[in-house]
Amino acid sequence: MRVHALGSAAVHAIGIDIGGTKIAGGVVDELGGIVRFERVPTDANDATAIEAAIVTMIEDLTGGERMPVGVAAPGFIDAGQSTVYYTPNIPWRNEPLRERLEARLGLPVVVDNDANAAGWAEFRFGAGRLVSDMVMITSGTGVGGAVIAGDRLLRGGFGVAGELGHMRVVPDGIPCGCGARGCIEQYGSGRALLRMANEIADVGGIGLGLAAARADYGVLTGDIVGQFIAAGDPGAIHALQELGRYIGAACASLAAVLDPELFVIGGGVSVAGDLLLDPIRESYLANLPARGYHPEAVFVIAELVNDAGVVGAADLARIHSLSR
């Protein structure tokens, strides 16, 4: 496996990934391998308990050994990898998380956005390990992402670059949780796929299968739509293709700005594989500026499905400790 040359000392590091319902953590080696792993459930409303759980987990994982710590959190983190400006699910507002954890642990800590950490892991050890410029788009409940430009994670001037879910793809479109309208999150997420599947079920025709399932189960769920896609149901496939077309159009805009060699598609929706990649690619090409002359990026599904946040956070911490 090629590993980007960003320091080769054999340093283990801790990666912690804070989710809405659980905290995952691991000791990660310099090749991205998880040496030790833990997971605990959390109450997202209790910031004090979350901090205590993080400290306990890190002390447990290090076993008294000194190693750098990377913490991946959902939300806006400052460019200095220190302060959590805002998390949508946990009540952290302008929280100096790095300072607090360093004081409690006596270990070097960096804090990063969880999507950035997962994208970094994919760049270092997964689908992006052979390129220097890649964009990762994660289509799960929402849409997230990360941008690697010139072998570096793009953080932006304020630390909040790479919020790809809130790129506008439809002027005056569906209102988004962020306060704007027409964000790709409303057209390219798992939630959007469900909405589209329901719309197709309403119309009948190719939606008859979905309509019957909805009548049987009372409501369509992501699992049901996923099963219908896997079974080749034309209505479910049509919904997936529609979703793919929006993501592909967003990728064409991203290509105009960032010119990545590679788009990595991750998240729950990406289990559809080529059924998703094909409409993304088609729409990307149809919307690409200077079509026919613009070099075409490659589209692949993410490789590090589980625990990419843990691996990426640990690697960012390791690299940061080497550069101190």
- Compute the least distance from the CB of residue 142 to Zn ion, in Å: 9
Q: Are 167 and 183 in contact (CB under 8 A)?
A: yes
Stretch that binds Zn ion, among 57-65, 70-78, 180-188, 201-209 (CB under 5 A): 180-188
- Compute the least distance from the CB of residue 249 to Zn ion, in Å: 16
192: contact with Zn ion by CB under 5 A: no
User: Binding residues for Zn ion, how many (CB under 5 A)?
Assistant: 5
How far apart, in whole angstroms, are the C-alpha atoms of residue 72 and residue 90?
13
Q: How many CA atoms lie within 13 A of 307 on its CB side?
A: 20
- Compute the least distance from the CB of residue 55 to Zn ion, in Å: 33
- Compute the least distance from the CB of residue 53 to Zn ion, in Å: 30
Site mask for Zn ion (CB under 5 A), range 145-174, x = bound: ---------------------x--------
Site mask for Zn ion (CB under 5 A), range 203-242, x = bound: ----------------------------------------
**Beta carbon nearer to Zn ion, 131 or 170:** 170
Strand partners, 95: 84
Look at residues 46, 44, 49, 52 and name the one whose alpha carbon lies nearest to residue 22.
44
- Compute the least distance from the CB of residue 186 to Zn ion, in Å: 7
**Beta carbon nearer to Zn ion, 79 or 174:** 174
DSSP structure string for 56-89: HHHHHHHTT----EEEEESSEE-TTS--EEE-SS
How far apart, in whole angstroms, are the C-alpha atoms of residue 240 and residue 235?
9
Cα separations (Å) of 55 from 7, 72, 151?
27, 14, 31
| Amino acid letter for position 212 | A
- Compute the least distance from the CB of residue 176 to Zn ion, in Å: 3
- Compute the least distance from the CB of residue 225 to Zn ion, in Å: 22
Stretch that binds Zn ion, among 37-45, 179-187, 208-216, 253-261 (CB under 5 A): 179-187
How far apart, in whole angstroms, are the C-alpha atoms of residue 199 and residue 183?
19
Buried b (16+ CB within 10 A) or exposed e, 285-303: bebbeeeeeeeebebbbbe
Residue 314 tokens, joined: 């640990």
- Interacting residue with Zn ion among 58, 84, 135, 183 (CB under 5 A): 183
- Interacting residue with Zn ion among 3, 170, 178, 300 (CB under 5 A): 178
176: contact with Zn ion by CB under 5 A: yes
Q: Which residues contact 206 (CB under 8 A, 6 or more apart)?
A: 200, 234, 235, 238
Q: Are 163 and 176 in contact (CB under 8 A)?
A: no
**Beta carbon nearer to Zn ion, 167 or 310:** 167
Stretch that binds Zn ion, among 23-31, 66-74, 177-185, 235-243 (CB under 5 A): 177-185
**Beta carbon nearer to Zn ion, 176 or 265:** 176
How far apart, in whole angstroms, are the C-alpha atoms of residue 22 and residue 10?
29
**Beta carbon nearer to Zn ion, 183 or 262:** 183
Stretch that binds Zn ion, among 15-23, 58-66, 92-100, 183-191 (CB under 5 A): 183-191
| Amino acid letter for position 296 | E
| Amino acid letter for position 210 | L
- Compute the least distance from the CB of residue 180 to Zn ion, in Å: 5
Residue 234 tokens, joined: 């034309």
Residues that bind Zn ion (CB under 5 A): 166, 176, 178, 180, 183
